[in-house]
């Protein structure tokens, strides 16, 4: 009896852990993208023109994010609501040099059943 209860508890914990950490719908891992890019190089023009963060599963809506960059040895962080890079963020991006790393993290997405999940960070390098 105790073994069955313990096994059930472990299964519930594993199931909860799996659903929170895997960020999977079906067989596809959820990720955020800008202009179809989830990591690596992106041109400044594409980043500024697109300016919209989307989830790989269009049923999920991006509701907040954080944009971070190192500029002149200072860490600059902007918090955004919704899925659009703000004018202030765009102003900063315009000032950045080629090779600068931009991190978009703390990305929150709302699922169709109104759950909020965090997506993996976007790590972009300006080219």
Burial class (CB in 10 A: 0-12, 13-18, 19+), 74: exposed
- pLDDT for 107-116, tens place per residue? 999 999 999 9
Q: 28-126 adopts what CATH topology?
A: Immunoglobulin-like (2.60.40)
Helix (H) or strand (E) holding 71, with range, is strand 61-71
| Higher-pLDDT residue of 76, 25 | 76
Position 28 scores a pLDDT of 61
**Residue 108 exposure: Cα atoms within 13 Å on the Cβ side:** 12
CA–CA separation, 79 and 68 (whole Å): 9
For the chain, the average pLDDT equals 84
| % residues pLDDT > 90 (the chain) | 77
CA–CA separation, 92 and 100 (whole Å): 12
Q: Is the pTM of this model over 0.85?
A: no
Say if residue 119's pLDDT is above 90.
Answer: yes
Per-domain boundaries in the chain: 28-126
**Residue 8 exposure: Cα atoms within 13 Å on the Cβ side:** 5
With cut-offs at 50, 70 and 90, classify the pLDDT of residue 29. confident
CA–CA separation, 19 and 28 (whole Å): 13
With cut-offs at 50, 70 and 90, classify the pLDDT of residue 26. low
| Higher-pLDDT residue of 66, 11 | 66
Helix (H) or strand (E) holding 69, with range, is strand 61-71
């Amino acid at each position: 009896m105790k073994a069955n209860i313990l096994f059930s508890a472990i299964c519930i914990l594993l199931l909860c852990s799996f659903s929170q950490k895997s960020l999977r719908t079906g067989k596809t891992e959820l990720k955020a993208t800008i202009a179809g890019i989830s990591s690596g190089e992106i041109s400044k023009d594409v980043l500024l023109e697109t300016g919209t963060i989307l989830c790989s599963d269009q049923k999920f809506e991006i509701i907040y994010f954080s944009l971070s960059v190192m500029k002149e040895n200072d860490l600059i962080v902007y918090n955004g609501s919704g899925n659009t890079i703000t004018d202030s963020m765009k102003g900063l991006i315009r000032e950045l040099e080629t090779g600068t790393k931009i991190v978009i993290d703390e990305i929150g997405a709302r699922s169709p059943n109104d759950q909020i999940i965090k997506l993996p960070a976007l790590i972009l390098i300006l080219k």
